[in-house]
Amino acid sequence: MCGIVGYIGNRDAFPVVLNGLKRLEYRGYDSAGIALYDGTDIQMCKTQGKVADLEAKIQQNMPTKGTLGIGHTRWATHGVPNDVNSHPHYSNSGELVIIHNGIIENYASIKKELKKRGYTFTSDTDTEVLVNLIEDIKINEKVKLGKAVQIALNQVVGAYAIAVFDHNKPDEIVVAKLGSPLAIGIGDDEFFVASDATPFIEFTNNAIYLEDEEMAIVRRGREVKVRKIKGDSVVVPYVQELQLNLEQIEKGGYDHFMLKEIYEQPSVIKDTYRGRLLSDQGIIKLGGLDEYIEKFTNANRIIIVACGTSWHAGLVAEYIFEDLARIPVEVEYASEFRYRNPIITEKDVIIAISQSGETADTLAAIKLAKEKGAFVYGVCNVVGSTISRETHSGSYTHAGPEIGVASTKAFTTQITVLTMIALRLAKVKGTISQSDYMMHLHELETIPAKVEEALKSDENIKKISAVFKDARNFLYLGRGYNFPVALEGALKLKEISYIHAEGYPAAEMKHGPIALIDEQMPVVVIAVNSNHYEKVVSNIEEIKARKGKIIALVSEGDTAVKELADYVMEVPITPEALSPLVTTIPLQLLSYHIAVMLDRNVDQPRNLAKSVTVE
């Protein structure tokens, strides 16, 4: 939710900040703005719309001089997306300039107080309130910017990553973090601040990730000073070496990041198990798990907390953990879990799944579980993210940066990690036979080739997409391991094509959704080889009898379903427990092609943001 970026050094800040915003646009894209400071004048340009609109506006009417700059790409929380509510925001005197990712929950009462003291507000944002609070403190308490920020942040409730500078201090940016991410890139006599490391990856490999309730004063040509916001103690920052490279965050010849990321799946799934899965030796080695294996084997149950696509990966994991490792699993929406006074004991293990590692609700669920004494294991993609730091241990998915807002490779790599965890636990607990265990290890290694094979049906899927692109509704059905895949297929279609779609367990159809079926209704049925195959065939018959249009996803060599279905998508035969890794692919492609045909903004669908750092 919102991306922030800043630069201070010796080069022109404008291109650094502008390119940084383009890379952060996945975090929010309803408006954008930049402020530049050349030591004399502050220049600011803001606009509703995308970073490209901002760039065009700046080209028309703003000088781009200055070696200090900050920029923001917004996902509106307080105040509609328009030019005025866009960031950066000035304080009343025009001396302070701020950008902010997060929500100041008590902004209304602070605003009331400030108004009584004569402050005026041009926007509806909580951020303009914060910058004026900082100004008020700076003037009344006669303190410098850093101290004023610190005092102000001790008065606010909410979440923030902020960057603020002062006209009187041309060599300094003050940043602070609580709840929203903030990375500081450390170059030679220059510094970068950003919501993640992508804006500065071509300039430096060294970064500090601020912890919650930390602030930093970033001064041109000096060391970064980090302090606690509460208590004021000095923090010695940990400088992390980044593993990103520029190629990973560019489109590489694909029309959209989403398509690139769909096609990356064979290689990133391999990256996920590389060095961890030694199939010939029958070994699964997961650094984060080995040390804590007894926490899992002694657990009463595993509770999985996540949101959206990551929650769907959790549902797949529920099947595989219960099936293979015989550990009871509950899968919870983090947003519900955190607010319903859940019963958690020290004998529970919590697995938090998150691509970004920044999702506010998942983070809050983790904190709650830790307070209640549970052991919390993270499955995250973004290295160094807040969730990866807040959990007791965990495994990274190694999917590389996922830029397309609709999650694709994050899902399959999450399932890959969770499958390895389940197999390792099953082995330790003795709930799986040696032959079954070895079969799954070897089969897991064949998944990248099978995903590659599934991707070859892209042209066929494109043709099917052309037939159904104008449908108003879709139904997605699956059973067992492929029920969560049906949910995920429906979510993908909804979020990027804006077509209403529902995922259902195939057998539940007759308890309600069957009423929706008529000749207008496309029904995507996952009917691959499984224990439920015959039952799914019966479900297909039921849909046919009501004239629904069947788009069936079948295993290679299928005959029965092919005869019944109107359209068929094929995937290689895969053991049931691993099948979601393959069946997901055609559904991703189907939603992608429909969205492209409808001329939707595939990588940045309306109303969404990649990283949901507000609750």
Residue numbers annotated as active site:
2, 610
Contact letters for ligand F6R, residues 66-105 (x by CB under 6 A): ----------------------------------------
Beta partners for residue 71, in sequence order: 5, 34
359 near ligand F6R, judged by CB under 6 A: yes
Question: In the block, which residue shows the tokens 């309600």?
Answer: 512
Helices (H), 284-357: 287-290, 293-297, 308-320, 334-337
User: Which string of DSSP letters, residue by residue, matches 92-154?
Assistant: TTS-EEEEEEEEETTHHHHHHHHHHTT---SSS-HHHHHHHHHHHHHHHTT--HHHHHHHHHT
Q: Which is nearer to ligand F6R, 66 or 308 (CB)?
A: 308
**CA dihedral for 250, 256, 257, 260, sign (positive or negative):** negative
**Binding residue (CB under 6 A) for ligand F6R from 354, 395, 539, 555:** 354
406 near ligand F6R, judged by CB under 6 A: yes
Query: C-beta of 304: minimal distance to ligand F6R in Å?
Result: 12
CA–CA distance, 284 with 301 (Å, rounded to integer): 22
307 near ligand F6R, judged by CB under 6 A: yes
**Binding residue (CB under 6 A) for ligand F6R from 86, 91, 356, 397:** 356
Answer yes or no: are the C-beta atoms of 491 and 476 closer than 8 Å: no
H or E segment to which residue 179 belongs: none
Q: Which is nearer to ligand F6R, 308 or 384 (CB)?
A: 308
| Residue, CB closest to ligand F6R | 308
Nearest residue to 255 via CA among 17, 614, 593: 593
Q: Considering only 72-80, 140-148, 306-314, 369-377, which stretch makes contact with ligand F6R by CB under 6 A?
A: 306-314
Q: Considering only 52-60, 198-206, 355-363, 366-374, which stretch makes contact with ligand F6R by CB under 6 A?
A: 355-363
Residue type for position 286 = L
Query: C-beta of 597: minimal distance to ligand F6R in Å?
Result: 19
Query: C-beta of 397: minimal distance to ligand F6R in Å?
Result: 10
Query: C-beta of 600: minimal distance to ligand F6R in Å?
Result: 14
CA–CA distance, 527 with 530 (Å, rounded to integer): 8
CA–CA distance, 191 with 225 (Å, rounded to integer): 12
Q: Considering only 304-312, 533-541, 551-559, 574-582, which stretch makes contact with ligand F6R by CB under 6 A?
A: 304-312
Query: C-beta of 336: minimal distance to ligand F6R in Å?
Result: 14
Answer yes or no: are the C-beta atoms of 156 and 106 closer than 8 Å: yes
362 near ligand F6R, judged by CB under 6 A: yes
Query: C-beta of 383: minimal distance to ligand F6R in Å?
Result: 13
Using CB under 6 A as the binding criterion, the count of chain residues that bind ligand F6R stands at 15
Quote the Cα angle for 139-111-358, to 5°. Answer: 100
Query: C-beta of 28: minimal distance to ligand F6R in Å?
Result: 13
Q: Which is nearer to ligand F6R, 284 or 614 (CB)?
A: 614
Query: C-beta of 591: minimal distance to ligand F6R in Å?
Result: 10
Query: C-beta of 526: minimal distance to ligand F6R in Å?
Result: 18
CA–CA distance, 405 with 605 (Å, rounded to integer): 7
CA–CA distance, 418 with 49 (Å, rounded to integer): 39
H or E segment to which residue 90 belongs: strand 89-90
335 near ligand F6R, judged by CB under 6 A: no
Q: Which is nearer to ligand F6R, 364 or 455 (CB)?
A: 364
**Binding residue (CB under 6 A) for ligand F6R from 67, 77, 205, 310:** 310
Helices (H), 154-251: none
Q: Considering only 57-65, 120-128, 169-177, 302-310, which stretch makes contact with ligand F6R by CB under 6 A?
A: 302-310
Question: In the block, which residue shows the tokens 């902010």?
Answer: 100
**Collapsing DSSP states into helix, strand and coil, what is residue 9?**
coil
309 near ligand F6R, judged by CB under 6 A: yes
457 near ligand F6R, judged by CB under 6 A: no
**Binding residue (CB under 6 A) for ligand F6R from 495, 558, 570, 603:** 495
Helices (H), 350-499: 360-371, 386-390, 409-429, 434-455, 458-468, 483-497
390 near ligand F6R, judged by CB under 6 A: no
Answer yes or no: are the C-beta atoms of 265 and 451 closer than 8 Å: yes
Q: Considering only 5-13, 178-186, 356-364, 540-548, which stretch makes contact with ligand F6R by CB under 6 A?
A: 356-364
The DSSP symbol for 220 reads: T
Q: Considering only 165-173, 206-214, 354-362, 595-603, which stretch makes contact with ligand F6R by CB under 6 A?
A: 354-362
385 near ligand F6R, judged by CB under 6 A: no
Answer yes or no: are the C-beta atoms of 503 and 479 closer than 8 Å: no
Q: Which of residues 586-615 bind ligand F6R (CB under 6 A)?
A: 611-612
Residues 6 or more apart from 60 whose CB is under 8 A from it?
A: none
Nearest residue to 273 via CA among 597, 607, 578: 578
Note the residues at the interface with ligand F6R (CB under 6 A).
307-310, 354-356, 359, 362, 406-407, 491, 495, 611-612
